[in-house]
């Protein structure tokens, strides 16, 4: 079947704001290359950015080749490098988060308020399958959103109704090449496994189109449910970075409870996805019963959900982000957890009106073993503290 070029261009025009400069996240792969050329065909004013992840020896050369292709098109292009050492834990998740952070920094530096990603209908279907593997709830099975806000940058996915093969056929018809990342065939990654499973499920009628359609149905359910969840968020009060869980939450419908607990965990940790459903259920059972419990770097105790002491971030200089969400500004020093030793140096910490366990995982300013400031415990001494990622319920 011939590719409907007008339809593809129409997806860009419908999915991106007119009259704005569009930042295109360009890896050089088929999807992002098609995105760039479709944006140009739609008459968009574009700039492009490539993240060199430094995970393969060829990555710098590939980023340079993408830049040369952009120069030939008259498109301004930059490369941002993910500077990292040994990457522990979930490599794909960390790479994704680093990539989005670098893209957002680039967009802000260029005064660009809208960024486009090349995710397709196939990516949407794979996301649903990955959600199924984690026994995700409605939110996890409703797929990727068509847009979301990352601070002051709005990120768009205008090609979610286009197929991966369709985009490549469109590129071939115009003699436009692309580079395939070999990690896309690496079975160590869950998304690659989902991609191959999708092929096997085809004879059952479980196709990318069908799964994307299901995701769309569930997204509408989630949008309706989000109204009730947002109202129930009144039972959660944030104080000094910890969340006080009101008993009234446990009178809400079970799915409303679950979504708020998941959102609370994501807020405290900055994780890109929720823990497995069974683990969340275990935590919630403990919370309802008033028992102490831990999950994903968080701790529940006596009605409070907070960071687990052993999971908080390491030391950073004053002015830098600590534990992914705190910023302390002041005369200098090193920021690390207040901890038991720090709390001993704040003689009147009880006046802060917060449990000891909450204060232990708040930031302190240190000079060696001497505590200079603990703003959450009432010892400011010229330092100011700001919570970068406060709790809110978001879809």
Residues with Cβ within 8 Å of 112's Cβ and at least 6 positions away in sequence, in order, are: 21, 22, 23, 47, 106, 153
pLDDT band at 89 (very low <50, low <70, confident <90, very high): low
Distance CA 111, CA 109 (A): 6
CATH 3.40.630.30 is the classification of domain 5-210: no
Instruction: Give CA–CA dist 233/236, Å, rounded.
Output: 6
Write the pLDDT tens digit of every residue in 255-268: 999 999 999 999 99
Residue 279: which residues within 8 A CB-CB, separation 6 or more? 295, 296
What span, in angstroms and rounded, lies between the C-alpha atoms of 69 and 16?
Answer: 23
Q: Which two tokens stand for residue 227?
A: 């109204």
Residue 272: other Cβ atoms inside 10 A: 13
Q: Are 32 and 64 in contact (CB under 8 A)?
A: no
- Averaged pLDDT for residues 388-393: 86
Mean of pLDDT over the chain: 93
Question: Can you give the pLDDT at residue 216?
Answer: 93
Q: What is the pLDDT of residue 57?
A: 78
Taking only the tens place, the pLDDT of each residue in 249-297 is 999 999 999 999 999 999 999 887 788 889 999 999 999 999 999 999 9
Asked if residues 26 and 64 have their Cβ atoms less than 8 Å apart, the reply is no
Please compute the mean of the pLDDT values over residues 185-190 and round it to a whole number.
76
Using a pLDDT cut of 90, give the percent of the chain over it.
79
Two structure tokens written together for 120: 């397709």
> Do residues 238 and 390 lie in contact, with contact meaning Cβ atoms separated by under 8 Å?
yes
Residue 82 vs residue 366, higher pLDDT: 366
* Range 152-175 average pLDDT: 96
pLDDT band at 394 (very low <50, low <70, confident <90, very high): low
Domain ranges of the chain: 5-210, 235-307, 310-387
Query: What is the model's pLDDT at position 97?
Result: 83
State in Å, rounded, how far the first CA of the chain is from the last one. Answer: 37
Decide: pTM greater than 0.85.
Answer: no
């Amino acid at each position: 079947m011939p590719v409907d070029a007008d339809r593809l261009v129409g997806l860009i025009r419908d999915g991106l704001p007119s009259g704005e400069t569009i930042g295109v996240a360009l890896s050089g792969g088929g999807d992002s290359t098609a995105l760039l050329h479709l944006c140009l065909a739609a008459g968009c004013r574009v700039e492009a950015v490539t993240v060199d992840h430094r995970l393969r020896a060829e990555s710098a050369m590939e980023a340079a080749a993408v830049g040369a292709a952009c120069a030939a098109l008259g498109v301004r292009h930059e490369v941002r490098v993910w500077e990292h050492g040994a990457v522990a834990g979930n490599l794909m998740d960390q790479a994704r988060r680093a990539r989005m952070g670098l893209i957002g920094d680039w967009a802000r530096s260029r005064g660009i308020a809208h960024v486009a990603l090349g995710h397709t209908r196939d990516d949407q279907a794979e996301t649903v399958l990955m959600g199924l593997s984690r026994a995700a709830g409605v939110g996890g099975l409703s797929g990727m959103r068509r847009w979301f806000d990352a601070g002051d940058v709005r990120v768009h996915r205008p090609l979610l109704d286009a197929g991966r093969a369709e985009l490549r056929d469109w590129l071939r018809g115009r003699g436009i090449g692309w580079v395939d990342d070999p990690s896309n065939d690496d079975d160590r990654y869950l998304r690659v496994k989902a991609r191959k499973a999708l092929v096997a499920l085809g004879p059952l009628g479980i196709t990318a189109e069908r799964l994307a359609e299901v995701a769309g149905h569930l997204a509408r359910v989630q949008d309706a449910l989000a109204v009730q969840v947002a109202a129930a968020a009144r039972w959660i009060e944030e104080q000094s970075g910890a969340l006080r869980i009101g008993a009234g939450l446990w009178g809400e419908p079970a799915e409303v409870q679950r979504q708020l607990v998941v959102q609370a965990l994501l807020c405290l940790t900055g994780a890109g996805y929720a823990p497995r459903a069974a683990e969340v259920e275990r935590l919630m059972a403990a919370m309802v019963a008033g028992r102490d419990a831990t999950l994903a770097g968080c701790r529940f105790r006596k009605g409070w959900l907070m960071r687990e002491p052993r999971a908080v971030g390491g030391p950073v200089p004053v002015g830098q982000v600590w534990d992914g969400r705190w910023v302390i500004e002041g005369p200098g020093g090193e920021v690390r957890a207040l901890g038991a030793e720090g709390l001993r140096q704040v003689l009147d910490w009880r006046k802060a009106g917060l449990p000891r366990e909450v204060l232990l995982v708040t930031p302190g300013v240190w000079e060696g073993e001497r505590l200079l400031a603990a703003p959450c415990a009432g010892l400011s001494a010229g330092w100011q503290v700001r919570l970068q990622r406060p709790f809110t319920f978001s879809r």
